[in-house]
Amino acid sequence: MLVLEKIADFRRERARREGTCGFVPTMGYLHEGHLALVRRAAAENDHVVVSIFVNPTQFGQNEDFGGYPRDLARDLEMLHAFPNLIVFTPTVEEIYPHGFQSYVQVEEVSQGLEGERRPTHFRGVATVVAKLFNIVQPQRAYFGQKDAQQLAVIRQMVRDLAFPLEVIGVPTVRESDGLALSSRNSYLTPEQRAAAPVLYRALCAARDRYTDGERDAEVLRAAMRAVLAAEPLAAVDYVSAADAETLRECEGAVSGAVLLSMAVRIGRARLIDNLSVGVD
């Protein structure tokens, strides 16, 4: 495993590697969800690059950039077993040098859901991912389906700007009680952790209604809200039943693939999760 901080050093090393490159961008504080991405990248490519960079531009002013969990030594330990790995760990100055002024804005698909509550978030994500794609030059890039809107934004950006790579969405990894793995789960106290699977239970309730034949978007959203309302520690930010491709909120009867999603605050953690229904 090679750990590199500078773009110039990374490019030199990358140029020496032959065959296909699979890329897993992360903000570190790795968990099994990240390792699922790395395993998939390792299975499908000749070599793998993992980036670890807590990207300041995707955090809003009152968000948790300063407190976001970081532990590079632990991350490297978790990646140690993977052969042929380059870990790229740039500093903020390396990615955003003095005078930086170019940003990538993906328009429509960035606007609803998370984008509505975090107006500058996807501009930061698209910008850093575009820069990382330019540096890493992967043939395939791997993202978790837990961040469904992020995945949609990246797919749109890759299509629109003709990045020569394939974007691969990897299924969400869950704890045995359904809680989706996330670095932000580390913010939860034991009591809050016990409450957190309510997100998955709420999604499953709506999915079950859908499976039983319910197609009214508002009824599906109400099914999620009812489960969340029974958990006193859960403060709902939003629940949504949206078109899985455009991410526009569904009204009336749903058809085709629908993304059921939500953001819920439990203590200081803002948790997001989703399930798709109506997918072939």
Residues acting as catalytic residues: 34
User: Does residue 220 contact residue 205 with C-beta atoms inside 8 Å?
Assistant: no
The residue from 45, 58, 172, 261 that contacts ligand PAF (CB under 6 A) is 58
| Window of 9-17, 22-30, 157-165, 255-263 that interacts with ligand PAF by CB under 6 A | 22-30
Bin 102: left if φ > 0, else alpha if -120 < ψ < 50, else beta: beta
CB of 146 to ligand PAF, least distance (A): 9
CB of 149 to ligand PAF, least distance (A): 11
Q: Does 274 bind ligand PAF (CB under 6 A)?
A: no
| Window of 5-13, 95-103, 123-131, 267-275 that interacts with ligand PAF by CB under 6 A | 123-131
Q: 68 vs 200, which CB is nearer to ligand PAF?
A: 68
Q: Please report, for residues 45, 67, 128, 261, the alpha-carbon distance to residue 54 in angstroms, rounded to integers and kept in the order given.
A: 25, 11, 10, 24
**Residue 252 CB burial class (10 angstroms; 0-12, 13-18, ≥19):** exposed
Residue with tokens 């030594």, as numbered in its chain:
73
**Alpha carbon distance, N-terminus to C-terminus of the chain:** 39
Which of the residues 59 through 98 are near ligand PAF (CB under 6 A)? none
Q: Please report, for residues 128, 140, 141, 232, the alpha-carbon distance to residue 166 in angstroms, rounded to integers and kept in the order given.
A: 17, 5, 6, 42
Q: Does 55 bind ligand PAF (CB under 6 A)?
A: yes
Q: 150 vs 156, which CB is nearer to ligand PAF?
A: 150
The residue from 30, 41, 128, 198 that contacts ligand PAF (CB under 6 A) is 128
Which of the residues 147 through 186 are near ligand PAF (CB under 6 A)? 147, 150
Q: 54 vs 220, which CB is nearer to ligand PAF?
A: 54
Q: Does 25 bind ligand PAF (CB under 6 A)?
A: yes
Q: 154 vs 196, which CB is nearer to ligand PAF?
A: 154
Bin 40: left if φ > 0, else alpha if -120 < ψ < 50, else beta: alpha
What's 232's DSSP letter?
Answer: T
Quick one: tokens of 127? 């910008």
Q: Does 125 bind ligand PAF (CB under 6 A)?
A: yes
User: Does residue 192 contact residue 269 with C-beta atoms inside 8 Å?
Assistant: yes
Phi, psi of 40 (to 5 degrees): -65, -45
CB of 251 to ligand PAF, least distance (A): 29
Q: 109 vs 227, which CB is nearer to ligand PAF?
A: 109
Query: Can you give the binding site for ligand PAF, defined by CB under 6 A?
Result: 25-27, 55, 58, 125, 128-129, 147, 150
